[in-house]
Structure 1
């Protein structure tokens, strides 16, 4: 069954073998209010284009997976109400019911694979939540990385998570975790987490070559490229972690659990940092878009 609708520029790029970078849509529908959400999405798309690649923002609309959004579709999505936040478990139901759905990391990977797009740039991946040893709360992003062959560029995992357990999970599942240009695994708003990354690569060509080798070896799954936030935009680990701990304590005290945890924590961290966390978030997404475009270019030319 054909459920893909390609934006004209994405269709041309894929036909011509030009570099394409997949982008998620939850940042548009669940990340910030209109019109800032659409302005940010357009800025990220413009950054991908400036680096010589074509952006393909993913979303489910009208029973179809849209691979790239037109100007009108992006505006409509940015103002839509009751948009589902979809992952592997509910993407099929969303399409079948004709609902509008914004793609998470896991759903964007699925859509990118279906469309033949090997690179996806996002902000940060989900991971193992604090207290997962009793709650079993582990993001669907992790098993998706283990089974879907897409290279994901992110600023590490969100700092609200249990980063040591997240890295352990990824290691057990055989997911390559590649720190870009440094030895430490970055922690979203901060360049350093205090944890050594399993792998380090310093060029887009190296990352593209590793993806090709995985395919040649018949290994399942993708790669996680952990790209540190630019120095000028970071909130240091020493500054952000007390804020994260305070927000986590508030969530526990209010009995917030399951899917409600992450949105609550990100909102409280935004408030406690007086908006700096969102500024840093936008900066790291732009930085990941640049690296994603470079990797897509290296893959397209077989470097």
Structure 2
């Protein structure tokens, strides 16, 4: 991580927050470049940042610009990446070294965002949903690298679960194998991204942000990997 940190560029807002021990929340950039059309993608990215600021934290959108990992983007950088869209390479753990060495732009997925957030000292990362085990995995071996990253990188990922097109029971089994504490906020069932309940029982349930934070803190104190906090989408928005 030391080598990566030396290659990294951090925004002034994020650097000041970390130096002052203020809460910082990491955000991915794949949704900006590959999830929505322009200009909706830029508008949404900026709105999410403002929601985080209004709650008293500092947003740190993460991306690679010209081969340099950035933790915290300016409005101009968000606008540029949003306009470039699918021209920007999607970057997971596998692609980080290639994109950095090639000095091109990269939109970070969950796994790459976790790696760069950890390198920067950011401990919490919010995203829409994580990848998982695909249906038919017995023949395809299609398993998202997000799951392995959660087992090895000590960052708390907060999301709305995994998409229902994935194999949710197998995804939770894989996370158990990786030793990842999986907590669902406020209900017993694990959410499935677009819907509040997948019908699959969550390994753990927490009733408050304080309880979730206590688990995340204990995981860090024990020197273990990441944690996953699933927050169900409000039922009126399903």
Distance apart, 1:88 and its partner CA: 0.4
Asked which structure has the greater CA Rg, the reply is 1
Q: Distance in 1 between matches of 2:233 and 2:158?
A: 12
The list of structure 1 runs, each at least 4 consecutive aligned residues, that deviate by more than 6 angstroms after superposition, is: none
Distance apart, 1:207 and its partner CA: 1.4
Per-residue CA shift, 1:231-260, capped at 9, x if unaligned? 2101xxxxxxxxxxxxxxxxxxxxxxxxxx
Contact 1:155-1:186 within 8 A present in 2 as well? yes
Q: Distance in 2 between matches of 1:39 and 1:31?
A: 13
Question: Residues 39-78 of structure 1 correspond to what in structure 2 (within 5 A)?
Answer: 39-78=43-82
- Count, aligned residues: 233
Question: Residues 271-290 of structure 1 correspond to what in structure 2 (within 5 A)?
Answer: none
Higher RCO (CA-CA < 8 Å; seq separation 6+): 1
Question: Residues 207-218 of structure 1 correspond to what in structure 2 (within 5 A)?
Answer: 207-218=212-223
SS at match of 2:228: strand
Bigger fraction of residues in strand: 2
Q: 1:85 aligns with which of 61, 68, 90?
A: 90
Distance apart, 1:203 and its partner CA: 1.4
Structure 1 position 106 matched with structure 2 position 123 = no
Q: Greater CA deviation, 24-33 or 205-214? A: 205-214
Bigger fraction of residues in helix: 1
TM normalised by structure 2 equals: 0.96
RMSD over aligned CA atoms reads 0.9
SS at match of 1:128: coil
SS at match of 2:76: helix
SS at match of 1:80: helix
Q: Distance in 2 between matches of 1:6 and 1:217?
A: 28
Q: Distance in 2 between matches of 1:53 and 1:218?
A: 25
User: 2:101 maps to which residue?
Assistant: 96
Contact 1:3-1:63 within 8 A present in 2 as well? no
Structure 1 position 158 matched with structure 2 position 127 = no
Unaligned runs of 5+ in 1: 235-303
Question: Residues 251-266 of structure 1 correspond to what in structure 2 (within 5 A)?
Answer: none
Contact 1:59-1:66 within 8 A present in 2 as well? yes
Unaligned runs of 5+ in 2: none
Structure 1 position 197 matched with structure 2 position 202 = yes
Distance apart, 1:230 and its partner CA: 1.0
